[in-house]
Structure 1
């Protein structure tokens, strides 16, 4: 198993049936591997090879990239500039919501004081009017759907102006 960012996982001694091909010094084998697939396997590959041929180009077969669907997760908000307290000299405050999910998540921004009004429908919300009235808690909600089931994650940040 070859994940995108981690070291490969090697499975050996899996169920393999080997047949000798008569009259030539060759064998044909069939191996079966059962692996628990998780979100960490998104865009991973599974490669099968005969152990002595692992590094010989063309002597292995591998799958296409795995497209694993998983709910939204790992949500976080970054502030730019990153300060505990802002003053009116700050031109703008950029709030960026990041997370993970497949299919690709959608985003909505709200303020805690008015959850019925969507401030932004992207992962970015910009506070352009840096005044005390715009202090408060800003909430990012991240959504995706898998097999007609909706998933969401919520994260918030408090801004002091």
Structure 2
């Protein structure tokens, strides 16, 4: 039964081939009407039908004589034309034309199954807050992999457009998947212009004259901003990359507004803070020993000096009330 089916296919194929050959056109030889001795004459071989455009055909003029300057034309009504140098010995020679047909199948690509492989996927991405952004990871493989990037169960398709927000910063896992899956970590940094949150003053206002004071500027920005202050008051020490200014032995000359300036490549922001100096002089009432005013010690420990002044003020008020 199996052999019978095989022979049926073979016979059917032979019949189809024979049918094709029976329908193939026969090429024709075309000569010039007048062939003169010792002159050139043209000999052409022509395929008289254009119905075989799906077949590749090669035409050839067959003769024992030497042909030259042969020119071929392919396509509809294919032909070939050559030149023959005529001599008297050529009288009665035979010329024929052969057509060689070639057929071929439609081309098919051989696709081999291959696992995914990242071809273009940056390890680090920098986005600007508020701007349109996307992941750019590309991968190859067969079938063509799908690529996604994920963080905290939020999945983004490659080249999907979205607006970058600062909370999108962090490490993502990018996956390329066909019949297999590969992963790659991608770190995202979302940058934004500065925002000054506050200026922290220690001790709090008002500050006693002669005490030490620090002003620290607290700002949020990516990349980290640079800090500066205005005005540039004398006897001021800059700390923490200019985030903090320290003033020792505050005087009335230090009173006024201090402006913190935070800047990165995306913008600049400012915030001001007023310094108020308490210049009230407290004199001892009945017991001078209660009022501690050691200038040398005041340089080293401003907190004890301030406490002593307040204590002396309270005692003085009590004694004045008593004598009145």
The TM-score bracket by the shorter chain reads: 0.5 to 0.7
Aligned partner (choices 241, 244, 264) of residue 124 of structure 1: 244
Contact 2:210 2:251 in 1 (8 A): no
Please state whether the residue corresponding to 1:133 is helix, strand or coil. helix
When normalised by structure 1's length, the TM-score is: 0.58
State the Cα deviation string for residues 15-73 of structure 1 (Å, max 9, x = none). Answer: xxxxxx9xxxxxx754416342123333x123357xxxxxxxxx984633212221112
Other-structure match for 2:187: 65
Other-structure match for 1:153: 269
Q: Which runs of 5+ in 2 are unaligned?
A: 1-142, 149-156, 176-180, 278-324
Structure 1 CA distance for aligned equivalents of residues 215 and 147 of structure 2: 53
Contact 1:47 1:60 in 2 (8 A): no
Other-structure match for 2:173: 47
Equivalences, count: 117
Q: What's the Cα RMSD here?
A: 3.2
Please state whether the residue corresponding to 1:66 is helix, strand or coil. strand
Bigger fraction of residues in helix: 2
Structure 2 CA distance for aligned equivalents of residues 138 and 30 of structure 1: 52
Other-structure match for 2:209: 88
Other-structure match for 1:10: none
Please state whether the residue corresponding to 2:190 is helix, strand or coil. coil
Structure 2 CA distance for aligned equivalents of residues 63 and 37 of structure 1: 19
Please state whether the residue corresponding to 2:229 is helix, strand or coil. strand
When normalised by structure 2's length, the TM-score is: 0.31
Please state whether the residue corresponding to 1:40 is helix, strand or coil. helix
Please state whether the residue corresponding to 2:171 is helix, strand or coil. coil
Q: How has the CA–CA distance of structure 1 residues 77 and 60 changed in structure 2, closer, same or farther, with 3 Å as cutoff?
A: farther
